[in-house]
Chain A
Amino acid sequence: MGAEKPSTFSRAAIERNPAWAQLLGLCPLLAVSNSLVNAAGLALASGFVMLGSALTISALRAWIPQLVRLPCFVLVIATFTTLSVMLLEAYAFELYLRVALFVQIIVSNCMILGRVEAFASRQPPMQAGLDALGTAAGFALALLALGGVREALGQGSLFAGMEHLFGPAAANWRIELGGEQPLLLALLPPGAFIIAGVLLGLGNAVRNRRRAGMDSTKTGEA
């Protein structure tokens, strides 16, 4: 994890953050991020599918014919999506009730297909796994950031309903932010776009500054 050359993981999670840098997987990102618990649920499920598909495809890459690689990828991703739905329904039923619809459409999340096609199908499982974890972490980061802001603005709370994901002990994680009238817009789809845009802008600013800091020829660009 040298500072000079970012590792596969951090490159996938930050420099090439699927949501903020590559603008991939925005549909589930915008649709599910109306509270932290939903965001966390989808992040976990997406991460599972991402990692499972990347490892499988990387391990099988020698046997996947170039011509039909996309059907193969989609088949593997669909399999892992179905697995994640089954696992959720079996072991996290409350959460399943809330996010099932969006977990099912992970299969068409181009973030996963994109990473599998561009990376996992050309790299050994170790690298592919790291890249998948990084991508998943980056996606989770984006989801949680958006989910946190939207829940705080729209419901005036944070971590509400976490017991659906982490068991009864998490019931008192809920933080009431108080404040007056919650901003309903934040919970609705237009709010998701606006907040995502603002966060995207902030992300770009941070990345630009980071790049400027790394590059010695460019000086202090805000």
Chain B
Amino acid sequence: MRTLLSLGGIGLLCALLLAGVQDLTGEAIDRNRNAHAWRTAFELTGKRFDTNGLEWREGRLRLPDGGWLQRSATPGYVGDIHLLAAFNAKGRLTGARVVRHRETPGLGDFIDLDKSPWMRRFSESSPRAVDAVTGATITSEAVKRGVERMIEAQKMNSPSAHPPRRLGILNIREQRPQDAQRGVVLVPPQRDGRLGTVRIDSLVQSPAFGIAAKTLAH
């Protein structure tokens, strides 16, 4: 009984302490987090805007000028690399940043803007044209893939793109060329050189397969 009382007492004390400090710092913490997120956003879009009433929905934040911010994560060398990308009103990528990562310090941390300007290249050229960094191929490719995927996802989501179709399982060897030309079926090359069966609707999102689709269309 005594044990229980003292355990409870200490728990209560700790809880009070935590609640007190939380109360004290909560506002400052929220302010810091928001300010940090917006700083990144302003820096990324290259302009300041009124942030009132803006909120994230499914990893996407619409901006007053018609553009939007997109969040995503891509597996890097150590854990996920969290990316933030800005698109303008026309749906073009205007820039991308790494907001959180655990890549190897000294080797993989060039994706931090305060370590290297590498991330700025994504605002100038397509992800494929960005050079990987020697000694950190996995990290480089992960970021490139992540950005590319966001671009691809945005193309797929825009109204002009084909509405997603559920075509079921399809044997690619029997796929008609006109399907491939419509961009509906994108196929990864199989390891043994043959093409396999894939679920169409789950692959459409994936930019890494674009080349395979082209080959198929020929």
Chain A residues packing against B (C-beta within 8 Å): 34, 60, 63-65, 67-68, 71-72, 75-76, 78-79, 82-83, 86-87, 89-91, 93, 96-97, 101, 154, 184, 187-188
Contacts and interface: CB of A to CB of B under 8 A. Distances in A.
Given A79-B18, A87-B21, A93-B32, A154 B10 contact: no
B92 interface: no
Contact of A86 (B29, B33, B36, B106): B29
Given A68-B3, A89-B32, A90-B28, A63 B18 contact: no
A184 B18 contact: no
* Chain A, interface SS category: helix
A65 B9 contact: no
Contacts of B3: 65, 67-68
Nearest to A34: B105
Given A76-B14, A86-B21, A87-B21, A65 B105 contact: no
A82 B36 CA distance: 21
Contacts of B64: none
B175 interface: no
Contact of B17 (A63, A83, A154, A187): A83
A65 B105 CA distance: 45
A188 B105 CA distance: 7
B16 to A, nearest CB: 10
Given A83-B17, A86-B21, A90-B28, 16 more contacts: A60-B10, A65-B3, A67-B3, A68-B3, A68-B6, A71-B7, A75-B10, A75-B14, A83-B21, A86-B29, A87-B25, A89-B29, A90-B25, A154-B106, A188-B104, A188-B106
